[in-house]
Structures are given as structure tokens and as C-alpha cells.
Structure 1
Amino acid sequence: MNMQELKKELKDLTLLYVEDDANTRIRIEKLFSHIFKSVTTAENGVDALKLYEEKEYDLVITDITMPKMNGIELIENIRNTNKNQTIIILTAHNTNENLLDAIDLQVDGFLLKPLDKDKMSELLYKIGKHIKNEKENISYKKNLESLVQEQQNKICELIAKDHLTGEYNYSKLKSLIIHNKSSTVCLLVINHLSELLDFFGTEIYEPIIKKCSDYLKSIIIEKMKYFHLRSNEFAIFIDNTNNSEDLMKKFCKKIEDFYININGAKIKIVFSTAVLKGDSTTLLKSIDDTLLKISQSGNIHNITNLNNDIIKQRWESLCIATNVADKSLSIPYYQPIFSQNEEHLMFEVLCRINNNFFKNENKRKCFFESCKKAQIFSKITLNVLKSSIKQIEKVNALFFINLCKNEILDSEFINTIINSPIKVKNNIVIEVNPSLLNENKIINIILKLKDIGIRICFDNVGLESFQIKRILDINLIPSFLKLDKSIISSIPFNERYLNTVQAYTIFAKNMNIKTIAVGIENQKCYEVAKKIGFDYYQGYYLAEPQETIKIGEI
């Protein structure tokens, strides 16, 4: 065994060498320093043990017979700390009585004094190769464990993220809730997604989800965390702090009027929200219960298979509607409403769109259906409202503006009315379908408009649900009742309808509510309506809608 081969195996190893005889220690240390990476020496077991506790060594070579603590005791202490430590005993021939103890302690080798260089080299080479292999095995094992752990983390990360949006999903939210004593979570669900897919086709699913996810993530505030739970379900998480509820309210306010654009078409996204809070157990149960109720509420159903021509026509309609809304292509028309003496100081504001597309009845029907599904009709009629406000301010007359559910819930639309000049507010009459009075949010908005001096008219009376007890309970007595066209047109020929209409007019007079007969399309209908005693009359027989406002007689 030549010295070069020995150095090759030992050059990266550290050695703790323990020897009480100073001359021997110095001489052998000099030899070892040429073949080991580093050599640390100690003159007894006590000093050696202190050094060992401070630092790791690849190899320990120790004498047996030493003061304070002998080699056998040192080995016992080292084994208590590290049972795998490689140890060689260096001893004289006359210490055979201790060799059995060393064997029991499973030392890795023996070197006898005086040293035989060939035997020492052979043993050190063998031991060095063994240590080197062990270190490589340990390094390989650690690298393998690290690689396995890294892959496990990646798998866990993949499991915890939604495949479509790449955002953390329900499993990650659950983990976060469990690790927090008390939290607040806002659940958000696109509550009309199935209807949109059913109407416009399933191809819009991915862009809707991605755009909703991007928007929600962009508007989170302060310490909120965003999650895409699954499909049309999203969540916002925040630790329970003094202002956690206020932060959630601010967040929910930001999603009230949210529209997305897909291939040139605008679609309104309406979220149902539920703010839940509590400890981890309570909160997780509340989330599961809430999501279960949503899944059972009818929001999830089988999507109808549509042919491409139908989808194409609907999408074309929606693109036209978006263009009309964005470029303010809708204009107001005004249909006169006449009093009993055939004078008129009132108008209904109607929406008209100048486009050849609407000359086809099927296309016109498809347009309105598409607007309804995408909930963007309020953006079209908003242009009409803004234009008509300029005219209303100039004329001393009442103007009836019919509001559907989407318009009432559109904050921009309602704020345009609220922020209009006082004269405009005094001249506006808001028409509302009484069937909407079952929703508290809508009732509160209507009452707010009434409180600032805007008159209220119930529309489609006789056709839709009209509960007298309901309007009395919520203290929402209208200024006008409009009897529906389908009822009015039948009163000359249907005695039951005639009696129903007469009952409504008697009720209205007793409540000091003015009545309007809508749908006067012929002389006979007009004469019967006048006999009943309506306060006002409206219909094409009396006057067609006009682009300019003209006050006068029939």
C-alpha cells in the first residue's frame, strides 16, 4: 500500500487522535497530518470527550491506558452519543486484558504499538474506504429523501391548487382554517353560471371562471387570502381581527357591479355571498353546510346540448347588445299618457335601438333573451335614462320609467336617479313589477327612492302577483297603479276581467292611488275603460311613442 493511494482515501476525512504519551502523540500526529484532512489531538479521555461533543469526526483513534478517563470509558461515552462512530484502538502488546472490552464495544479496528506502517496503512485504507462509502450512502439517501420530499410537496401543491386557475382550492382553505383558532370566510358563488352555459354554450365556462378568479384576486385587501374552491365557488379568508367584518363588507361592495368581456360580448356576473366566522370546527361545518345548500338549490343541473347555429345567433345578439351599451346607441322614446279630459302631462320613457338587426322578429326576440341572460340590459337602458333626464329637466310633466330587477339592483343605474337634479326627481315615476316585492333588498332600494321624493307606480297589475297585505305591511303605497295590457284589452268581452278591473279601481280610489289603463288599442276598449273610471289612459290608439316630447291633446 503506497502513501499516494492511502492519501486518496483519507484526504477528505477528519481525525480525533487520543494519546497520553506526548512523544508518541507528536510523532504519530505528524504522520497522520500528511494523510488526513485534519487531525485533532487530546492527551486523555476527558479532553477527548469534550472535543468530540463540540465537533463531529469521521474517525477516532484512541489509546486504551490513559489518566482521568481510559480509552474503554471514552469509547463507551462516544457510543452513547453516536453508536455508528468509526473507532480504532491504538494499544501496546501488554494491554490484552482490555481488548475483550473493546471487542464488546464493537470497535472497527486495532493498531498495536509500536506501529507497523504496512499494517497501519492497510487498516486505515480499509477503514477509510468504508467511511467514504458510508458517507456516499448517507449523502445519496439524503438526496433521495430530499427528492422524494420535493416531489411529495409538488404533488401536495398540485392537489391543493385548482387545475384551471392555478389558485389554491378547498383543501388548502381547510388546512388554513384548521391552523387558525378563529377565522372569517366569505363564500362567493356565481349564481347563474348554469343558465349562462345553458344559453350561450359550455365554451364560455373556462373564460368566465378565469376572469372571475383574476378579478377576485385583484381586489382582495389587506390580510385577505383568495381561494378558488371548485367550479363556480370561490372564497376569501381572513384571520378574525377587530375589523374583519368591515373588511369583508368592503370587499363584497366591490363585486356588486362586475362585468366581464368575452370575445366582444359583455356579461354581468352576479355572486351570491355568505360571510361565515367562528372557530375551525364550527367554520368548516358552516362552509360545508352552505355549499351543500347551494348544490341542492338548483344552481347545478345538466347543460342542454345546443347546436352551433343557435349559439352563434345568441352570441351575435349579445355582441350587438354590448356594442349598443358601450357606444350609447339606445335612445329614449316617449309615449303620452292621457287624462280623462284627453289632455296629457305624462309620458312613459321607452327604449329604442336603431339597428337593422331588429327588423327580424326572431332576432329581436333572441336579442332580448341574450340581454336578460347576460344581465346587461340595464347598461343599455342606462343610456336612455341619462338622455331622458336632460329632457325631463326642461319639461313640466311626469315621466314613467319602468325598472326591471337588474336595473333596480344596478347601483350605477339607481345612483344616476338619486343624483339627478331635484326637478328631475320630482318629475320621475318609477314603475315596478309588484312581484319583486318579495325581495327585501329590492324593497329597501324602492323605499329609498320614495324617501327622496320619487313617485312609485306598480306595473302589470292584474297579470303578476299583487298582494295588498304585502304593500301595507312594508308601507309601500304607490302613487299609481298600471292595469296590464292583457287585462285591459279583454274587458269589452270578458265579464270576469271587467269585474276584476273594477275591483282594482275601487281599491285604488279608496287608497288615493291613481289608476292607468295600459294597452288602449281600439275605440271599444277606450270607451269601456272610461266607463270604469280610470284616471289615465295609455296605448297606440291614443298616441304612438315619439322621439320628441309634445304636450297637448290627442
Structure 2
Amino acid sequence: MNSDLDIKMLIEFSKTLKILYVEDNKVSREALETLLGNFFSDITTAFNGEEALEKFKNNKFDLVITDIRMPKMNGIDLMKKIRKIDNDIPLIVSTAHKESELLIECIELGVNGYLLKPINHKQLTRAVNCICGRLYYLEETKKYERSLEELVNERTKELENIQTKLMHMTHKDPLTNLYNRRHFNEIVNTLMHIAYREKSALSVLMIDIDRFKNINDTYGHLIGDIVLQELAKILTKKIRRSDVAIRFGGEEFLVLLPNTTIKGAQSMANKIKKSSQETTIALSHSPNIVINFTVSIGISQCRCMKNEDKNTFIDRADKAMYRAKESGRNRVVVYDE
């Protein structure tokens, strides 16, 4: 460490580490344990390799300091077993022996430091600073990576929210909050394919507000917008979760009804027609004046088994809707060739 600040940070960091110290000789163990107390606050001792291995298995340590020559299980065998459990934990060897074979085995095991007995404060300080510096910067790197990951996750979530909003904007009608024609173009083929595959019924309601132009001309476009919103509320309330309500354009609305025959579509259409004609809208500037509106509804069932295309499917409902208007409005008409 080059600066006083770094040394202080390192000392504070070392106090947070959990150490496993293995030494069979009581005098050596007590002497080094006293020295280690200058650096570490949490030191667990073991008298031999077997005891150390058992403690290592049952606890989380940041550093292992071990003697080499010990009864029952020597330091080399202990470190081999530790490496199988945790290949990254730092290891420091404490020994009075300098045999080349032992040193080579230690190198092969990736030992991070050596303490030659008798161990003095200067030797220990050098080894501890080296190991703790490495652990400190590894921990700081992990913190940085975690903060970076959190930042990435946060930004990703923000982007997902933006994408959801954009999807909502591109697929929803802003006035009525119903799906728009773009969404219809994307979903209708899917529903037709499902109906073909499952040999199920798919029907559609084409809904048009009667004399809507008169409402706009008489009361203004703001009131006209309220009428559109009221009809949208009716559709949202009456349809099932599997149904799809769409503002098709202007005062025209469309409802796709999966798994619904003509009979079921007629029942739904009559409920919508009834709710519409029972709805009243009071004018804010003239409370005594209320507006009523009615709808004309055309129905068709998809001829999916005959590979009917979406345009023909919808066109038949549109023609039925115009027949409803021609026959007096406020009616439900099923397309019938």
C-alpha cells in the first residue's frame, strides 16, 4: 500500500476477515495467534488437519494459515482437501522446514504466502498485507460488479417500462383506451388460425353509433368524445376477458369473440345495444339536457374452415351493420346471404 489512507482501509478490512489457523505445537500456536491478533479480530484455531477440515466444512473462512507437519493429517493433505471445497480461498503456509519437495507441492496447490518459523512481526505484516490487499481489491471488484449489475438491471427495467408504454401507445386508442386498428391487424389472423386449428367458432361484432355526426354538429366534438368513451366503457364492462374490443375508426367499434357462435354473438350484441340506449349523458353547462345514443350492430361468424381471409370476415359484419341502419337503426343484424 502506498498511502496512509490505503493502509487504514486495509487494517479496517482485515478486521472483517474470518481466519482459520492450524498449528499442532502449543507454543508456536499461542505465539502466532498473539501476532495475528494485531491484524484480525475473528480467528478460529485447530490443532491438526482433521480438526481443521471439519471446521472448514462447517464455517465460512476468508483465509487459512496452516502448519505443514502435523499428526493425523498434515498441512499438504489438508490444503488439497480444502482446494477441492474452495479453489479460490487464500492459503498461507507456516513451517520451519525448507525442503524443496514441500515447497514444490505448496506451489502446485497455489499457496499464496509462506511464513518461516520463528515468525516475527515484520514477516507476518508483509504476508498479511499481501493477502489482505488481494482480498480487499477482490471484494471491491465484487462490490463494483454488483453495483454495475444493479445499475444495468435498473436501466433494463426502465427500458422495459418504456417499451411497455410505447407498445401501449401504438396498440391503444388514446381517447377510449381500447385497442386500435393496428392491434386488430396483428391479432385477428392469430385468432382465425386458432379457430381453424381447434375447429372452434369465431364471431365479430361491427358496431356503429347511430347519427353520430348529428351529435357532433349539435353538441360539439367534446360531447362526441364523451359518447365514444361511454360506449367504450360499455364494451369493456360487457365483454369477456377472452374477447377483444377495438375502436376501428371514427364512431365504428369492433369486438372479436373467440369460441362464440352466432347465437352467442347475438346475445352479446343485444346486451351492448340495450346498455347503450339506456345510457344518458348530462351536459355540464346545461344539466337539464341529457343525451342518449343508440348503436347498430352487424354480426358475422368466421368461415375459418373455408380459409376465409380477414377482410371478407370483417366485410360481412360491416354489411350486416349497414343493413341494421337501413332497417331503422338501434338494431342487431346477422349477415345472411
TM-score of Structure 1 vs Structure 2, range by shorter chain: 0.5 to 0.7
Larger relative contact order, structure 1 or 2 (CA cutoff 8 Å, min sep 6)? 2
Matched, 1:297 2:314: yes
2:330 to 396, 401, 406: 406
Give the Cα separation in 2 of the matches to 1:228 and 1:22.
83
List aligned pairs for 1:228-267, cutoff 5 A. Answer: 257=274, 259=276
- 1:170-209 alignment, distance < 5 Å: 191-192=206-207
Structure 2: distance between partners of 1:186 and 1:212:
25
| C-alpha separation in 2, matches of 1:272 and 1:111 | 92
- In 2 relative to 1, CA 215–16 (structure 1 residues): closer, same or farther, beyond 3 Å? farther
State the secondary structure of the residue aligned to 1:130.
helix
Alignment of 1:59-458 (within 5 A): 59-160=63-164, 162-163=168-169, 164=172, 191-192=206-207, 257=274, 259=276, 293=310, 297=314, 404-407=328-331, 409=332, 439=335
Q: CA-to-partner distance for each residue in 1:434-487, whole Å, 9 max, x for gaps?
A: xx5x658xxxxxxxxxxxxxxxxxxxxxxxxxxxxx9xxxxxxxxxxxxxxxxx
Separation in structure 2 between the aligned mates of residue 94 and residue 41 of structure 1, nearest angstrom: 24
Contact 1:9-1:129 at 8 Å conserved across structures:
no
Which of residues 20, 29, 47 is equivalent to 1:25?
Answer: 29
Contact 1:188 1:274 in 2 (8 A): yes
Aligned length: 279
The answer to whether the 8 Å contact 2:273/2:294 transfers is no
Alignment check: 8 A CA contact 2:300 2:335 kept: no
Q: Deviations over 1:134-192 (max 9, x none)?
A: 11111211222233233334434544551357999999xxxxxxxxxxxxx99997845
1:15 corresponds, among 19, 34, 49, to 19
2:20 and 2:293 map into 1 onto residues whose CA distance is 77
Kept after mapping to 2: 8 A contact 1:6/1:35: no
Taking a change above 3 Å as real, the CA distance of residues 37 and 193 of structure 1, as seen in their structure-2 partners, is farther
Partners in 2 of 1:10 and 1:297 — Cα distance?
Answer: 75
Q: Is the CA contact (8 Å cut-off) linking 2:295 and 2:329 kept in structure 1?
A: no
- 8 Å Cα contact 2:35/2:121 also seen in 1: no
What do residues 208-241 of structure 1 show as CA deviations (whole Å, max 9, x unaligned)?
89777777777789xx69988998788999xxxx
Q: Percent identity?
A: 26
* Residue in structure 1 matched with residue 189 of structure 2 by the alignment: none
SS of residue paired to 1:124: helix
Following superposition, the deviation at residue 52 of structure 1 comes to 2.6
* Inter-partner Cα distance in structure 1 for 2:232 and 2:210: 19
SS of the residue corresponding to residue 297 of structure 1 reads: helix
Amino acid at match of 1:80: K
SS at structure 2 position matched to 1:40: strand
Q: Contact between 2:92 and 2:114, CA under 8 Å: does it hold in 1?
A: yes
From 28, 46, 49, give the equivalent of 2:50.
46
**5+ long unaligned stretches in structure 1:** 172-184, 238-247, 276-285, 300-371, 378-401, 410-435, 441-469, 471-554
- 2:29 and 2:298 map into 1 onto residues whose CA distance is 83
Contact 1:45 1:70 in 2 (8 A): yes
Q: 1:14: how far off?
A: 1.9
Distance 1:158 1:263 in 2: 37
Aligned counterparts of 1:147 and 1:20: Cα–Cα separation in 2:
49
* Separation in 2, partners of 1:124, 1:151: 40
Structure 2 counterpart SS, 1:406: coil
Deviation at 1:10, TM superposition (A): 0.8
Where 1:90 maps in the other structure, the secondary structure is strand
Within-5 A mapping of 1:494-509 = none
Q: Name the SS for the 2:330 alignment partner.
A: helix
**Whole-angstrom distance in 2 between the partners of 1:194 and 1:45:** 88
2: CA distance between counterparts of 1:67 and 1:262? 95
2: CA distance, partners of 1:156 / 1:228: 25
Letter in 1 for 2:328: C
CA gap of 1:117–1:139, structure 2 versus 1, over 3 A, is same
Alignment-derived partner of residue 196 in structure 2: none
Change (3 A) 1:114 1:157: same
Task: Write the distance in 1 (CA, Å) between the matches of 2:14 and 2:85.
Answer: 24
Instruction: Indicate the SS of the match to 1:162.
Output: helix
Once the two structures are superposed, residues 56-76 of structure 1 have per-residue CA deviations (whole angstroms, 9 ceiling, x without a partner) of: 322222222223332222222
Q: Which residue pairs with 1:35 in the alignment?
A: 39
Distance change in 2, residues 1:46/1:267 (3 Å): farther
Q: Aligned pair in 2 of structure 1 residues 158, 19: CA closer, same or farther (>3 Å)?
A: same
Taking the aligned partners of 2:247 and 2:76, their CA distance within structure 1 comes to 66
Cα gap change, 1:38 to 1:203, in 2 (>3 Å): farther
Question: SS of the residue aligned with 2:40?
Answer: coil
In angstroms, what is the RMSD of aligned CA positions? 5.6
Query: Computing the radius of gyration over CA atoms, which structure comes out larger, 1 or 2?
Result: 1
Q: CA deviation at 1:101?
A: 0.9
Deviation of 1:16 after TM superposition, in Å, equals 1.9
Change over 3 Å in CA distance of 1:439–1:147 after alignment to 2: same
Query: Does the 8 A contact of 2:76 with 2:106 survive in 1?
Result: yes
Aligned letter for 1:162? Answer: H
**Compared CA separation, residues 208 and 83, structure 1 to 2 (3 A):** farther
